[in-house]
Amino acid sequence: MDTKYGREDLTADVLVIGGGIAGLTAAVSIKEKNPDLDVLIVEKQTCGYSGKANKGGGVLQYFDLSRVNPVEFAAYHANVIGCFLGDQELMIKYVQMNNHMFDKLVEWGANVPKREDGSYDVMPTGPMTAMIGIDLDVTLKVRRTAEKLGVRIMDKTSVTDLLTSDGKIAGAVGFSILDGKLYTFRAKAVVLATGSQNYRIGPMWGSGRGDGIAAAYRAGAEMRNTEFGNFAQLVKVRSHEEVVFGENFMYNKAGEHVTKNFRTGPEPDISGSAIAEWYNQMAANMGPIVLKREMPEGGGPLNMLWKRPYGQRFWELNNEHAHAVDGDDMEVCPMLIGEQSPVKVDHDMQTTIPGLFAIGDASYCGSAAPGAVPAPPGRNRGSGILNAVFAGIMCSDAASKTGAGETLPPVCDKQIEDCVKRLYAPLERESGCKSKDIMRVIHKAVGPMERSVYMSGHRIETAMRYVEKAKSMLGELKADDFHELLNAHEAEAAVLSAEMQFRAAAMRKESRGWFIREDYPETDNKNWLKWIIVKNKDGEMALSTEDVPWEKWPIKPPID
């Protein structure tokens, strides 16, 4: 079928959707394995500038593997972060590959600060962990490497649906956000690198819109850990700038230090318990909550520790504006970040649809590596960018082999027609609601801490009522131009993510790690060492559970 906006049919051996650090790593790694493959990256904005890697602190976790045993780190992670929902084998592989990933990033042109003696400028952060700052032009550097290797790149094109054939991946459908032109893609392998779901609440690094997750769901890919899409961060109430390490210093209006002793062990920073305490204090009319702390001697912003000229200007502008509006006001409030990353993948990063791979923020929780915590980085600082690099490398073997297959899978005209109809539907409606009308409703569901983070059955039901309302509006979603069409598809993805989040949250009747229910405060290792799986079955959302195979991993959970 043709459209009034034009149509172009393209092919590739491997189609990579998303041009952030995960997609770029996959494209480069696949080309390194097989230079003959035709690899195409499709990015809805501009490849190399998109994604999160260039919008945060640029911090990478470093392990001194001459001294750190990967199993010991997996044990620490399983006990205090992943809470035995994590795939320990994958976590161990991630640690083992750490130094290799640094070497690859440097080879691909990234600026990783070094000392005069040539060693990496590592800052120790704990008994096992350390960090290195990386300059924020990392994605641009890897884009240049990709181009040198012959990777084709297509910007300003948004993929809205995936195509399948006989249960395997066959390609994708998308449109130009500039002129609306329809693009169909046929490919032997497809790598989804489209980021997580952040619900359009926080700025900048919370930029994932979940549209790739939604496309995978519609195509029939299984999702895992969707209830862990509820990450939150303390922010200053004026600038909304995040306050790193702030939760230990929360004071109520009576001047009481309300989070003085709330950690029970060697927990990393950012804890759901502090968010719950903030809510309890506010509900008891003991707010507002302010931070009172003194910077440790010699302390300062993390991003100033290394020489990183590209990121410097970006950080300075952000800090200047935030500090100008904050002044001395230390009032804080949590803000939902989200980070649902649920596309279920195996250790090759292959989804349950053969030939479809999902990497980086699209599948971090779906890979099960981080366990009971929304990720990236999932209370494991410095693991966000590195997980994207890890997953990009991990998928490259199987994706390049699939991409080297003899023929392109056939595509069904009827399937394309349905996708195209769905794609342009918001433009065709004469009247209706706008994407922002839907997002306002979704924000009521996911935004409040007592619905997303410090949950109860009753409060989850309240959230679901908003989700149902937003769902009922989707049939009226109207867009007036291609920018609004993009927003419309992103809003639809947000509604789907919220439904997956709350339906799974209602099912998990316990508290574990970041997942906190006021009505089920205990961790239930007898009944809930399970993953919740969400799947689209003939248009209906179906939930089931899968036992965590902890018996085969080295660190065992405490079971009464």
Instruction: Show the tokens assigned to 247.
Output: 């939760």
Find, among 181, 258, 231, the residue nearest to 9 by Cα. 181
- Taking CB under 8 A as the criterion, the residue among 7, 440, 469, 530 binding other proteins is 440
- For every residue of 161-222, DSSP letters joined together read EEEEETTEEEEEEEEETTT--EEEEEEEEEEE----B-TT-S-TTS--B-HHHHHHHHHT--
Closest CA to 515 of 449, 454, 451, 459: 454
Q: CB of 131: closest distance to other proteins in angstroms?
A: 23
Answer yes or no whether residue 165 interacts with other proteins by CB under 8 A: no
Q: Which residue from 220, 287, 354, 557 is in contact with other proteins, where contact means CB under 8 A?
A: 287
Residue numbers 380-439 binding other proteins by CB under 8 A: 436, 439
Q: Which stretch binds other proteins (CB under 8 A): 51-59, 377-385, 420-428, 542-550?
A: 51-59
Kindly tell me which of 66 and 285 has the beta carbon lying closer to other proteins. Answer: 285
Determine which residue in the list 7, 168, 181, 238 makes contact with other proteins, applying CB under 8 A. 238
* Amino acid sitting at position 366: G
Closest residue by Cα to residue 195 from 68, 366, 317 = 366
User: Nearest CA to 103 among 371, 389, 296?
Assistant: 389
**Minimum CB distance to other proteins smaller for 104 or for 459:** 459
366 with 224: CB under 8 angstroms?
yes
- Among the residue ranges 29-37, 46-54, 183-191, 301-309, the one whose residues contact other proteins (CB under 8 A): 46-54
Between 48 and 268, whose beta carbon lies closer to other proteins?
A: 48
- Pick the stretch among 252-260, 300-308, 444-452, 532-540 that binds other proteins (CB under 8 A): 444-452
With binding defined as CB under 8 A, does residue 447 bind other proteins? yes
Among 71, 130, 237, 474, binds other proteins (CB under 8 A): 237
What's phi and psi for 89, nearest 5 deg?
-60, -40
Task: Point out which residues pair with 237 in neighbouring strands.
Answer: none
Q: Among 148, 253, 292, 321, which residue sits at the site for other proteins (rule: CB under 8 A)?
A: 321
Binding residue for other proteins, selected from 277, 361, 450, 492, defined by CB under 8 A: 450
Q: Both tokens of residue 537?
A: 């079955």
Of the residues 235, 349, 455, 504, which one makes contact with other proteins according to CB under 8 A: 235
Q: Encoding tokens for residue 377?
A: 């980085």
Q: Answer yes or no whether residue 5 interacts with other proteins by CB under 8 A.
A: no
Give the DSSP per-residue string, 426-466: HHH-SS-B-HHHHHHHHHHHHSSHHHHTEE-HHHHHHHHHH
Residue closer to other proteins by CB (options 365, 446) is: 446
CB of 435 to other proteins, least distance (A): 9
| Near other proteins by CB under 8 A: residue from 131, 356, 460, 486 | 486
**Does 288 sit near other proteins (CB under 8 A)?**
yes
Closest separation in Å from C-beta 46 to other proteins: 4
Tell me the three state secondary structure of residue 232. Answer: strand
Q: What angle do CA 249, 254, 255 make, to 5 degrees?
A: 35
Asked whether 108 and 28 are in contact (CB, 8 A), the reply is yes
Nearer to other proteins by Cβ, of 165 and 319: the residue is 319
* Residue 335 token pair: 């803000």
Identify which range of 63-71, 260-268, 333-341, 413-421 contacts other proteins by CB under 8 A. Answer: 333-341
Give the nearer residue to other proteins in terms of CB position, either 388 or 395. 388
**In the range 487-506, which residues lie near other proteins by CB under 8 A?**
487
| Binding status of residue 234 toward other proteins by CB under 8 A | no
**Among the candidate windows 6-14, 120-128, 237-245, 248-256, which touches other proteins by CB under 8 A?**
237-245
The only residue of 103, 167, 179, 204 in contact with other proteins, by rule CB under 8 A: 204
Residue 434 or 517 having the CB closest to other proteins: 434
Q: Which stretch binds other proteins (CB under 8 A): 123-131, 354-362, 385-393, 443-451?
A: 443-451
Contacts with 477 (C-beta within 8 Å, 6 or more apart), sequence order: 425, 426, 429, 432, 433, 434, 435, 438, 488, 491, 492
Sequence-distant (6+) residues with CB within 8 A of 516 are 272, 273, 276, 453, 454, 455
# residues near other proteins by CB under 8 A: 46
Nearest to 226 by CA among 194, 197, 199, 195: 197
Q: Does 544 bind other proteins (CB under 8 A)?
A: no
Among 80, 201, 290, 541, binds other proteins (CB under 8 A): 201
Sheet holding 289-291, edge to edge: 231-236, 331-338, 289-291, 250-251
Cα end-to-end span (Å), the chain:
61
Question: What is the smallest separation between the CB atom of 417 and other proteins, expressed in angstroms?
Answer: 27
334 in contact with other proteins (CB under 8 A): yes
| C-alpha dihedral, 514 to 517 to 523 to 528, nearest 10° | -90
- List 114, 152, 181, 240, residue binding other proteins (CB under 8 A): 240
Q: Which of 100, 253, 293, 483 binds other proteins (CB under 8 A)?
A: 483
> What are the DSSP E strand ranges found in 341-448?
356-358
Contacts of 304 (CB under 8 A, 6+ apart): 315
Site residues (vs other proteins, CB under 8 A):
45-46, 48-51, 54-55, 177-178, 200-204, 207, 235, 237-240, 282, 287-288, 313-314, 317-318, 321, 325, 333-336, 436, 439-440, 443-444, 447-450, 483, 486-487
